[in-house]
Structure 1
Amino acid sequence: MILIGQYDSPFVRRVAIALRLYHVHYEHWPWSTFGDADKLAVYNPLRRVPTLLLDDGEVLIESAAILDYLDERAGDHRLIAAAGQQRRAALKVCGLATGLCDKMVSLVYEQLLHAATSDMWIARCRSQIGDVLDALQADRAQQATPFWFGNSPGHADIAVGCAMRFLADAHPDIHAPGQWPALAAHAARCEALPAFQAVVQPFIPPTR
């Protein structure tokens, strides 16, 4: 299979780390949604990443759908509970982390790609980012296990780890490890894993 997208995207990185934790071999096409939009459109009309090309020609889009497919392949070894309260709790953490990434990406675009920025929109994004970080901090601080739901990493850990890396790279003015110590420790634990270390690309802000 082929994973399309650059690793500086927290969504692409999340999928790539899951592929490695699942020991699934893949080819990587580091296409940019800006510079390679025309090539990307051949496979994904939204021109978004991640996009996953399966060996039989099927194309999967959106990180959640891609991870659902990988979980289905993994069966009992999936990186999330199959059902029940723990699955719902993990999906909530994933939803908060991916929503956090959405707001961080929106903030990047607003500040760097618009000639005239909206102070109201910037303030709203920053407020949402801070509130989500507070919620994730409170949740993680209650967990006594090395990872969110046990002794090994799952989708919640990957999603939050990727979000924290993107926060540090894209928004250093917001990144404040001392304000969210449980998340900072969690991010450090994730980044120490070989799967995380193998999938790293510094974020370079796009130009106008």
Structure 2
Amino acid sequence: MDTMILYGRNFSPFTRRVAITLNHLGVAYEQKPLSTLEDIEAIRLLNPLGRVPCLSVAEEVFIDSDAIIDYLLSRNPQHTLLPQALNARQRCMYDNALAKGVMEKCVAYFYETTRREPALVSETVAKHYQNQVMQGLEALDSRLLLKASEQQLDLSDISIFVAYQSACSVFKDQLPTFSTLARMSAVYEAWPTFHQSPL
């Protein structure tokens, strides 16, 4: 079996969702926590855009969390992360897209408020990103109530968990209470699939 190497830190929600997917699938891998700030040249050798995650398998390199996860699922056809029933699959993909949007805006907010020169930070832009995160989490919190509690873990659960914890990390005390998301996060945090790849 070819050695898989995942590049990126779990502070990146996109890297973390790949790591958790690898854990869930039981795929052996090595993780090299490269930072887009400190290791940008090394990352560009893998991805010209200088973005993580990247996954190397033998001589091949996969970039972008969706493309990487698609590759992993194709290698593990016995997986149950994508529901077979049409309605369940559509719900999974909708929730997955919402969660990824929250991740994107968490990253955008973080960079806008911490990586720009103070004089260049736009409070209007930062507030817009924050509002998008809050609206996305509110929608996910409501939609989780509609999901049967006995339903098995799917890809959207991983993405929602990562998105919520990313928002908690970025916004801290500014984050309102999302009861359903908080309960889900507490439950999943105890599962090996999740706690093997901490934030």
TM-score, normalization: structure 2? 0.92
| 1:88 positional shift | 1.7
**Structure 2 counterpart of 1:76:** 78
Which deviates the most, 35-44 or 165-174? 165-174
* Contact in 1 for aligned 2:161/2:185 (Cα 8 Å): yes
| 1:12 positional shift | 0.7
Aligned residues: 194
| 1:176 positional shift | 2.6
Letter in structure 2 aligned against 1:106: A
| 1:154 positional shift | 1.6
Quick one: distance in 2 between partners of 1:156 and 1:37? 29
Q: Secondary structure at the match of 2:46?
A: coil
Q: How does 1:188-199 map to 2 (within 5 A)?
A: 188-199=186-197
**Structure 2 counterpart of 1:19:** 22
* Contact in 2 for aligned 1:157/1:190 (Cα 8 Å): no
Spell out, residue by residue over 1:3-49, the C-alpha distance to the aligned partner (whole angstroms, 9 max, x if none).
00011111111101110110100111111111111111111101111
**Structure 1 counterpart of 2:131:** 127
Looking at secondary structure, tell me which structure has more helix per residue.
2
Spell out, residue by residue over 1:94-143, the C-alpha distance to the aligned partner (whole angstroms, 9 max, x if none).
11101101001100111111222112111211111111111111101122
**Structure 1 counterpart of 2:158:** 158
Letter in structure 1 aligned against 2:89: R
> Does 2:183 align with 1:185?
yes
Q: 2:36 aligns with which of 29, 33, 36?
A: 33
* Contact in 2 for aligned 1:60/1:66 (Cα 8 Å): yes
Letter in structure 2 aligned against 1:137: D
Quick one: distance in 1 between partners of 2:175 and 2:82? 28
Structure 1: gaps spanning 5 or more residues? 202-208
> Does 2:174 align with 1:174?
yes
Deviating runs (4+, > 6 A) in structure 1?
A: none
Percent of matched pairs sharing the same residue? 34
| 1:83 positional shift | 6.2
| 1:163 positional shift | 1.1
Q: Secondary structure at the match of 1:2?
A: strand
Structure 2: gaps spanning 5 or more residues? none
* Contact in 1 for aligned 2:18/2:69 (Cα 8 Å): yes
